[in-house]
Structure 1
């Protein structure tokens, strides 16, 4: 069955739901604070009722403390959910990787698998944590703040409402461009890790053959490719923040100017303007958080796709017999017209045939790269042959369980 990220979220759904509920409660309490402040300034202070001022001031303090406690509790819960989910994901990925055939491992490459086990799982962890911390709070603050703005000052609310479409366009651009860019960064990172691994493993050969300068240039090319893609992705993502600020502060200036005229004309009150400014800042920060959230989401989903690509690849743990016809049982080992190619372009072994009865031996000699190790790898079914058949005691090795064969 094809694995998806939701398969790892589902076992922790109750814990996540509890955390999101607590986070939502804290967000609603935060929204009450400017509204209570407006009521104190416009209604209670002019009446001169000190007791009411102290009572409502105490209510504000209690709401602020409760909001803080609930946000801290929700954030800790989000961290635990993200940690446990990523631990399970990384465990399954590592286990699945161990059972990949050599052919599948070569297709992914070891540096790419290492990158998926480390940086990709880390990106998914950060995405899950951020989605729980800000994925509920930011929309509640944004939507709830807008509703309260219209309740307090409908005219000033229209100013802010006019700015939001521009900000949504910016967020959409960030999302649509982010995932492909960060997917390219991860591929460049895989290539960089591959080059580094090759140099570390072959350092003696490099020195012996005086290939130092060539390998330096090879490394520099991979490094420059990664650097250029990182810079391009980060510059595009970073350019969006100033655009968000431009629209936010343009709306803020409009609110201040219009609000001053309305207070001067007696159409509004100072407390409402102060509350509106507070809501405006809260909504602004929430929209900026949503913008950052989309960056994290872009990275996380690009990494998640790479992880699921491995997890949904067939491996030897779920081995099933191929039901191939068996050979002649009088031979202990038989290669019958076997051909094989690593890259599927040119055969590394062509039409190889030999048969050995029990007690017989066969010596295979040849130059480096002639296929001696390849024959042994095919016998142990590390790689699947392209044509022909291999029999062990008359039984096709495709019908023998890998653990028993090896």
Structure 2
């Protein structure tokens, strides 16, 4: 069987076609068509669905020129350059937009193999290297001639594509399970923190079914033994129980050091998850000066820059660490309220999210003011019922954590397969046995 040969990427493609954006409304000689934007392709990867795409109006000539099929590779050429996607199906006309390229495989090049080749880290790096522009990068034609690869025969290409398609399918199935579990937990959270759970572990009947068990509050009907209180009333008696900073000259850039006491920020706060990756540090002596910003175990952190409004709970084993001006850090009185339930509501409860939106500007949450957070109302069950609610939710958390771990492992396996199955000049990749 012939050995693989070295070719530039341009020899693997029959054509590269830029697309069109079209018009919002019907015009002379135009027809409706689904259009793939650069953001659609960058987010969807191998699971690009026609149903998620916007409808635009274009001429038949434009549609025929930029039409794409599941055998084509959709390549982002502006913005997140190099990202690739593939249609799941195309029951109707679908075209690429002006910031996207339709890459059509050449004869004897298997579409699935080419898609995975172009999604490999080596190809992504080559695309970024061949991009011009400052604020918005644009992929140049150098990309297609500047990246050399080993081209196996079509039979091996097909085997490699099948292996990686299977890995993608497993990752996609796990992602679907995760989305469903997270949706279930969000719904369960609303039920549990508006209706509660009795001593037998059963959620109470809804207010419409059992009016005598509820009373009206600022958050609507809640069980009679509950109250609605602002977060300010649930803070611990420490100073300060709610803080953000240090600001200005209290901490200067040159005072950050390569190792020492971690300074936590938005990169540590994910939705329902604390990331213990530390990149900024201060010396122990500086940490003593900034002791008011010390983070305590089970503190609740919420981002106020970047993606505003993400929240998580600090782990019990946090050790010595400081919070930064990019987050609010709250120390909750754990005899009044469980920090776990505060964090979950900030992320998922409609009553909490609605109150945080008071700080939105033009539909975007630009920041969260101290006053907004302090006045934010939460339903307050008795402590024994809070613990029962937490136990129910943590059962779902465990399943979510298990699926996330599985997803991480599958993505690691896929990364290993990409490294093993694709060979570039100078690499020691192995391909598949022939």
Higher RCO (C-alpha 8 Å, min separation 6): 1
Q: TM-score, normalised by structure 1?
A: 0.24
Looking at secondary structure, tell me which structure has more strand per residue. 2
Q: TM-score, normalised by structure 2?
A: 0.22
| Bigger Rg, structure 1 or 2 | 1
